[in-house]
Structure 1
């Protein structure tokens, strides 16, 4: 967003004269312009890093303001898209506490206070949770991000609301109901049993009465708050016809970036969602780290991906996110010593890499989901790693990963079940990724020769086709020329 700031500089010169007279003050207005943020476009998707901002846990305060002041720092990590987890008020009714308990089951008032509920049990789609701040605070967050060349997308939950949403009583026709006419939480369509999301009520798009009111809620944030798109929770649980109705209306206001929490390829067709989740790749990474799968499984995935997805489809790759961290463990629990190697892989693949709140600070514990928690912002091992990877992603076209991605060419090695090697190339720029994806040292050859720079260390590396390379467990190179 372009803005002009007028700085009035008063220049007062005091000159010693015989009669001790001072000259009059001189005033000049100097115009300073910030850089205009270009609209969302395929070009910005090519070299972006996305950051998932968990506002509640980002700081001890858990406020929008506390996050906003650190936005300029995210530029150091190459972040261009900020995905803000839900900032809306959370329903009190049926609010989750711990295990199968809701806050109503907690009798001690002091104990009840600490359970803040799930971000995804929303009571009002167009308000800000007062625990996090005000709408003015959110506006400042968006403006600060835009001033720093970053786009802001909001987490959106179209599949369900909290039990405290006014639609429950004002528009019960918007919800699924059981045989007794009671609104239900989301149920498994095959068994009719609850998924366990008892703190939310399942929205019903069957009659299409919900299409317009839900779209109006989305439009509010684009029209009135100038956000740049949405990350849509369980997007494939909502009928595609709704997205076909809503997304064009959003794009009619301005270009927006749409991320689906889904790996269904049909959501990426016909100008709907721009990016989906690389869930299968994530699970393969976890299994390779645990010794359950090998590079052969990775290669099979990459072949399958090319048959399932179109050339202009984008997937988001990650070693963690809010669900993985809280429910399945940190990347260090799941990947151990391989965590950095797989982080580097997410940056070098065709696609967009994700950093989840705290990963840049070596977060090594599960964040509480229903209670207040806070990361510790100490720069350790991973901060400089993410800085380097972000700079390479932003500036080297060989890592373009959007709708016009750089090529991906697998390089065969003499130890292909453990060694992953590939080349990315675009517009005369090339990078090579070579990694030992096993927990033991490996010796191998590969058909690459020349003198390169090991990007992560700055050291020169000379390779020949007959050379025996020995990589330690989880060792990797990103080579540039």
Structure 2
């Protein structure tokens, strides 16, 4: 397989050099200026279409531009190990006797058999190259999901470099363990990598560089980034960026990761608070306390990804409707107006209301309904209004005082003379309230004018929200 990859690479080399020149002219390298106004899209290639291929996803990339998408994050595109492959959370395919039954279990994307090859389910290197090229032509960056914490049990390092792996007292390679308890996380389809071995650092960085140099990708989303030493990521990014500037997303909130290695992290804690507010378990006061906490926890140029769903939440915790119910749309708009970058997960734009199967083939229904036009408007606002800048030079964020501190979410964003206010009833009952703010505004989604005065009562239905803009 390595020989095949080498041959394909050599065969296409003149073509790749020509394409890289063209892409540099049509798409500037990743910059903070571009990321300030970006929407990120998580692409689940397997489930995106009935075919589950790069080719089918690539056809729809121009449509994503309509939603303001500037970054496409591809879930892992690499071959998946067969040994210990998951059939369910608790069973491996070895536990299933029927050979035909086994075939339907495709395994976890995160049990990687080869970091520098393509999962044949999705297509081939030419298909992947076309996806990246199409994204670049449409003004979008492409980042790859990178799983540095572990490999699948079929990975060639198991034979060639067993010293790269964590081993027990008997010298047996083990799956990842919870550092607090020493017990398995239950990720039995993968083998834990041991970063005490500095030769692993060099090998892993080289595997990442393959995609940057040969296929012009624009960065990485790092799976369980906090389980890998920060120093590894720092040295890796320094080496990788000798090729081109990159955008680095960490599946983590660990603040030390953002000092040198990563640009953005996950807003996991904020997401869980959103779920609990929607479920009546927490209030706006809890959110305001959280914002005060992160204001003192992180450096000024750190920022987080905001979301109402992603592949983990959808498959394991439930759909947006299951978790957020009638609050779903208000929470979606909330993620666009907060500091940071909003995420769209495959199917969300088509009002998907089902849990996608994780280890088997599934598909989304691509019919535009209620959310597509809302996401279009929110994406346009995010792209064009500097008051929603959310990266290293983010617009300011100020909580506004209201007469219903537990129920009304109210904050103001400002930058370069532009101002935006998010107002919402974060409760399941109608309310009347006042907000300590004055001025003439326009409801961005409806076009209606809204005059705010400190003494006038506002009436909001349950979960009603407004995005008010002032030029």
Range into which the TM-score falls when normalised by the shorter chain? over 0.9
Select the residue among 409, 420, 427 that pairs with 2:409: 420
Q: 1:3 to 1:250 in 2, by over 3 A?
A: closer
Distance, in Å, in 2 between the alignment partners of 1:151 and 1:329 is 29
Query: In structure 2, what is the equivalent of residue 364 of structure 1?
Result: 353
447-456 or 77-86: bigger deviation: 447-456
CA positional deviation for 1:4: 10
Query: In structure 2, what is the equivalent of residue 10 of structure 1?
Result: none
- Which 5+ residue runs of structure 1 have no aligned equivalent? 6-31
Distance, in Å, in 2 between the alignment partners of 1:190 and 1:446 is 46
Distance, in Å, in 1 between the alignment partners of 2:220 and 2:23 is 29
Q: Per-residue CA shift, 1:9-54, capped at 9, x if unaligned?
A: xxxxxxxxxxxxxxxxxxxxxxx99962011111111000000000
Distance, in Å, in 1 between the alignment partners of 2:463 and 2:299 is 31
Larger Cα-atom Rg:
1
Contact 2:278–2:426, Cα closer than 8 Å, also in 1: yes
CA positional deviation for 1:346: 0.6
Query: In structure 2, what is the equivalent of residue 29 of structure 1?
Result: none
> 1:222 aligned to 2:216?
no
Distance, in Å, in 2 between the alignment partners of 1:289 and 1:385 is 20
Distance, in Å, in 1 between the alignment partners of 2:210 and 2:362 is 30
Contact 1:34–1:147, Cα closer than 8 Å, also in 2: no
Query: In structure 2, what is the equivalent of residue 147 of structure 1?
Result: 137
Secondary structure, aligned partner of 1:355: strand
Query: In structure 1, what is the equivalent of residue 176 of structure 2?
Result: 186
Q: 1:193 to 1:419 in 2, by over 3 A?
A: same
Distance, in Å, in 1 between the alignment partners of 2:401 and 2:201 is 50
> 1:109 aligned to 2:99?
yes
* 1:169-248 paired onto structure 2 within 5 Å: 169-248=159-238
Contact 1:4–1:34, Cα closer than 8 Å, also in 2: no
Select the residue among 254, 266, 275 that pairs with 2:256: 266
201-210 or 63-72: bigger deviation: 201-210
CA positional deviation for 1:283: 0.5
With normalisation by structure 1, the TM-score equals 0.92
| CA-based RMSD | 1.6
> 1:387 aligned to 2:369?
no
With normalisation by structure 2, the TM-score equals 0.94
Query: In structure 1, what is the equivalent of residue 117 of structure 2?
Result: 127
Query: In structure 2, what is the equivalent of residue 440 of structure 1?
Result: 429
Select the residue among 351, 362, 378 that pairs with 1:373: 362
Select the residue among 32, 44, 54 that pairs with 1:54: 44
Distance, in Å, in 2 between the alignment partners of 1:186 and 1:194 is 6
Contact 1:58–1:374, Cα closer than 8 Å, also in 2: yes
CA positional deviation for 1:165: 0.3
Q: Per-residue CA shift, 1:82-102, capped at 9, x if unaligned?
A: 000001000000000024211
Contact 2:84–2:93, Cα closer than 8 Å, also in 1: yes
Distance, in Å, in 1 between the alignment partners of 2:30 and 2:152 is 31
Q: Per-residue CA shift, 1:421-472, capped at 9, x if unaligned?
A: 1111111111111011111111101122333211111122223221111111
CA positional deviation for 1:187: 1.1
Distance, in Å, in 1 between the alignment partners of 2:373 and 2:116 is 38
* 1:318-337 paired onto structure 2 within 5 Å: 318-337=307-326
Secondary structure, aligned partner of 2:241: helix
Query: In structure 1, what is the equivalent of residue 127 of structure 2?
Result: 137
Contact 1:46–1:403, Cα closer than 8 Å, also in 2: yes
CA positional deviation for 1:169: 1.1
Distance, in Å, in 1 between the alignment partners of 2:304 and 2:439 is 32
How many residue pairs get aligned? The number is 453
Distance, in Å, in 1 between the alignment partners of 2:303 and 2:436 is 30
